[in-house]
Amino acid sequence: MKKIKRYENTKVLVLGLALSGVNAAKLLHSLGALVTVNDYKNFDENPEAQELLESGIRVVTGGHPVELLDEDFEWVVKNPGIMYTNPIIVRAIEKGIPVITEVELAYEVSESILVGITGTNGKTTTTTMIADILNKGREKGHAYVAGNIGTPASLVAQTASASDEIIMELSSFQLMGITELRPHIAIITNIYSAHLDYHGSRDEYVHAKIRITENQSASDFLIINWDQPELRELAKMSKAQIIPFSRYEHLENGVYLENDVIYYQNEPIMNKTSILVPGEHNVENAMAAIAATKLLGQKNGRIRECLEQFKGVKHRTQFVKEFQERRFYNDSKATNSLATENALRGFNVPIILLAGGLDRGNDFDELIPELKKVKALVVFGEAAAKLAKTGEKAGIQHIKFVQNVESAVPVAFDLSERGEVILLSPACASWDQYRSFEVRGDAFIDAIEQLVDEIKEEEE
């Protein structure tokens, strides 16, 4: 870790805790900053704040008092989930105080090569693929995953060395709070409309995403999805070398698909049918991963072997189990229609689809073309009636209403036959019934195990 002096004896406000806030506060404290942590939760219910106080860090809990900014802070480090409309953030910006996110701190102290990945969909899968490929057969160094994927970047940056890489998933929320962060290799998997409640407009969301390349130079690389005309235009803003990938166009300077073979700069790497995780979107994720790992010197055989064995990331079209010739897949991360479309495209057998969750006011008619391959639809949550209506428009004959994911599993199994797929791909956020999409996915997995145990007991 670089021992930087920027924050020594400076007053820094860390706004919001959770993992990123806790680790940002600890890192700043170790760098000699005069840290104040402010979190909305009350102190008695806030073990993170209690831990930081015991470490000698000042904590203010139970709200976000704007009066804190009367203390002449020189920096604010904001939890990505806190919106820029928060009064304390608004006041900080008015006072000209830089507002950054924890990933910026991580970059400042890191000694490692940084690979940054953003996009609307596919970030986590691509991040994990890259790390797996780079670690395949490795004798020196390690590729660490960090950022929006779950492990705070500021924690990883303190231990990763110059012989390592940090493969950092970067959300639009995180990218809004950077000043100097500069990936040697940046990836934009795709861009669609998302998080408009946070950003206010699609233009602001896209602007946040493209910030991943704003500090890059001609010695860096930007890997982009060439099949999106918008990204082609946005790439013109970058000073980095552009490495495109496409499923439809021959790209001698990038990654392309021809007769089901994936090529990197005219060099055959692997057949797309050998990629273990299903779906054309995962072909695109693999192409981005191939580009990044080739730029970092990984061998073709190790890239191919890794992608042939990659089973997916938990909750992202994750293969769970095969039982009585039915295959169960957990795609709880599909919190919007586009992600569910991508999941459905990955299968060419009849599907029993489990869908539903938080009603955000949208309809689901964009799903109709892909729903035509769905044999039965099991719906739950606030959006159940809307999804059922869309299913009827698509001509699905079997539509069942259930209370939640747990009760959906046995109903879906009864509707299925051998050779079919039972897929949880909700097309909705989880917050009407579950704390997170991870909790929802775990409930699905547990319900499958319970179903299998019950059927086996009955058969004995």
Distance between CA atoms of 197 and 65, rounded to whole angstroms? Answer: 24
What are the pLDDT digits (tens) for 87-105?
999 999 999 999 999 999 9
What are the pLDDT digits (tens) for 6-46?
999 999 999 999 889 999 999 999 999 999 999 999 999 99
- 223-229 mean pLDDT: 97
Amino acid at 83: M
**The pLDDT value given to residue 196:** 67
Edge-first strand order for the sheet with 221-225 is 143-147, 165-169, 113-118, 185-188, 221-225, 241-246, 255-258, 261-264, 267-271
What are the pLDDT digits (tens) for 228-266?
999 999 999 999 999 999 999 999 999 999 999 999 999
- What are phi and psi for residue 385, nearest 5 degrees? -65, -40
Edge-first strand order for the sheet with 75-78 is 58-61, 34-39, 11-15, 75-78, 99-100
Give the pair of three-digit tokens for residue 51.
């831990």
What pTM does this model have?
Answer: 0.83
- What are phi and psi for residue 323, nearest 5 degrees? -140, 125
**The pLDDT value given to residue 149:** 87
**The pLDDT value given to residue 132:** 97
* Residue 427: count of CB within 10 angstroms of its CB: 28
Of 194 and 301, the structure prediction assigns the larger pLDDT to 301
Distance between CA atoms of 339 and 91, rounded to whole angstroms? Answer: 37
Classified by CATH at the fold level, domain 103-309 comes out as UDP-N-acetylmuramoyl-L-alanine:D-glutamate ligase (3.40.1190)
Which architecture, in CATH terms, is 318-455?
Answer: Alpha-Beta Complex (3.90)
Q: Where are the domains of the chain?
A: 11-100, 103-309, 318-455
**The pLDDT value given to residue 371:** 96
What are the pLDDT digits (tens) for 333-352?
999 998 899 899 989 899 99
> Degrees (nearest 5) of the Cα angle 225, 187, 177?
125
Q: Is 194 a residue whose pLDDT tops 70?
A: no
What are the pLDDT digits (tens) for 176-187?
999 999 999 999
CATH number attached to the domain at 11-100: 3.40.50.720
